[in-house]
């Protein structure tokens, strides 16, 4: 099981997470990230981890 969340107060809208895994990291009209579905399917977990690693604001939390 993996769950992902984005702290919208930390997010600065760099979109790096989105560029790595747009299936999970969504971007609103102001370019800030949000999560539509917090349960991450197994096939996307590596991508989601990489997206979290490249976030310069450490705004992404993973629960595994
Ligand atoms: S990489 Fe981090 S700061 Fe940038 S949009 Fe994604 S969550 Fe926000």
Question: What's the 62 CA to ligand 1 centre distance in angstroms?
Answer: 14
The residue whose CA has the least distance to atom 1 of ligand 1 is: 55
| C-alpha to C-alpha distance for 47 and 28, rounded to whole angstroms | 20
Give the pocket of ligand 1 (CB within 6 Å).
Answer: 6, 11-17, 25, 33, 55, 57, 59-60
pTM, two decimals, is: 0.95
pLDDT at residue 23, as a whole number: 98
* Number of residues assigned to the chain: 64
CATH number of 3-63: 3.30.70.20
Render each residue's pLDDT in the chain as its tens digit; 64 residues: 999 999 999 999 999 999 999 999 999 999 999 999 999 999 999 999 999 999 999 999 999 9
| 59 token code pair | 């705004």
Return phi, psi of residue 21, to 5°: -145, 75
Give just the sign of the alpha carbon dihedral 33, 7, 52, 55: positive
């Amino acid at each position: 099981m993996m769950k992902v969340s984005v702290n919208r107060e930390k997010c600065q809208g760099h979109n790096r997470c989105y560029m790595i895994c747009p299936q999970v990291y969504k971007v609103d009209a102001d370019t800030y990230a949000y999560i539509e579905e917090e349960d991450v399917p197994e096939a996307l977990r590596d991508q989601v981890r990489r997206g979290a690693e490249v976030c310069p604001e450490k705004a992404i939390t993973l629960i595994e």
